[in-house]
Structure 1
């Protein structure tokens, strides 16, 4: 390295010289080259140090993952080597006892549902109604036989909740229904009698049949409260059926005289009604809120453990209530009130002698 300029001994070469002295400029360039090299070396050292730290961090993570994998492998080998087995014992003693509940309602047998009016979600006419009714009885028996494999079932509660016919209670229905009300009643009566006889032939159970009128079977413009049955075509059907089975000791009819019927099954009290006295206007909380409010008020007078109802064409298990579906399925009215779409179905469940309501299942109507 050149020595400092003798003419400018105080110049240290840190900044460019202010004079044109060649010696100072040469000294400056040499100092600058040394400084640039040192900076480059320092920068390289820093970069190498950062890479080393990054590699060290990755290496530690790999070591941690390796330890975790070793523990997992060791645990898997321990589980694989285990020969201890959990013992499942077969059921001992007699089968439990239960009553089968079959709910039928809201068939609207003579109503016509044209697919093009409801976005092809459903279709319904007399022929489809007969097919679904046939599936109702057949699939009800299938569910009973399935449950009877492990459960003693000696009694069937066949709950008839009304609205089996649509009737001509509105002008539109008078235009679109496929049968006159009396003709529809005859068809429904024949199907119900045939279904009861089908259950009697294919089971050894006793049938208790509580019967309720719906709001569609009325012969008055507005629903009646104190004398609903006396103005109901379905009430007449039920009495005809009771006469038909009067001499059969396995069949008992309970034809409602008021809005509610109370039945005791084992240690449970069941309250049965069609459901048309529940005021539900389509709120976001669904049917559960108005129905539970109604149940709470009714329980102040006569308490029940379980309510069975129909009317809303929605199969629901609310814990303390069962709402039945429908046989007709989705229609133009349901679409207009923004009702939730549901396929045709009816309700089946068991009341166990010791456990209360247990198995709850839909009775599918569009398939065998």
Structure 2
């Protein structure tokens, strides 16, 4: 017998977080999320998202065993920003059965419709500021840090339930030696030209992290405001994310563009911590996971280029190329083996072209789907 159960307590939340470990137990590419991080993310009062918006978690049980999970999400800030009544689904994992997926999606429909929402979009875990997208191309290896992973059959399940493509997200890959040395050499000339406009490129100053964090938030909310579905992060949301990233940040991989001491753009790459997390059973730091994390973090030889943005009025001046080039130069200095630039919107040529010019190879695609209720 199958039933859908709303998550309302710690035991059910634990089951919700742990289900993917069971579903992907035989998949060598699966990377478990840290339990403590997922618990805080999904607990009202822990994550600042809950100060303005609401979610409901659901479990699908068969004879008491979990066979699926999903979250219904009402992002109030999204709807205020765009004047719409849209909802999201996220944290979707399910066995390969259309009937099982339908039971979960129906719960999302009902929950959202009760709130006057007329369209559902996903998978999106809260917003496009967090993990989002369904992997549709590139199942040949583990995901990099903070990128989603799912079985290939997920797209078939969701399309069979009436979901259609909203937009594709791209991931590009560099490997040691395959980036364009010629393009990197041109960056020195571009930087010299920028200096004539009082624009300089530097690394983040970790001694003034709070001040830097506030400046980067302003740039983030301005530089990404035209992206599809973008919602400005509140100060608390940005600080929460920045403080988490600070734990693994290498300041050489956070590069800032400024004019007259005013930040106008930045790029951020983070170590691919998934190289370590893939070895931590069920995402538990205790009793041995923390030791492994501390020990193996130093061995990470890949990065994810997570963010790159320049505020309006300073675009198409070569700043984007300098920021990407600065990351790749550090990639070379630190003898990294690979870098992933992700994600970018499929139609964002202003970002995609510089990535390709330096030698990035499109190797994975993720899809956000939608359905009218």
Normalised-by-shorter TM-score class: under 0.3
TM-score by length of 1: 0.25
Normalized per residue, the structure richer in strand is 2
TM-score by length of 2: 0.24
The structure that has the greater radius of gyration is 1
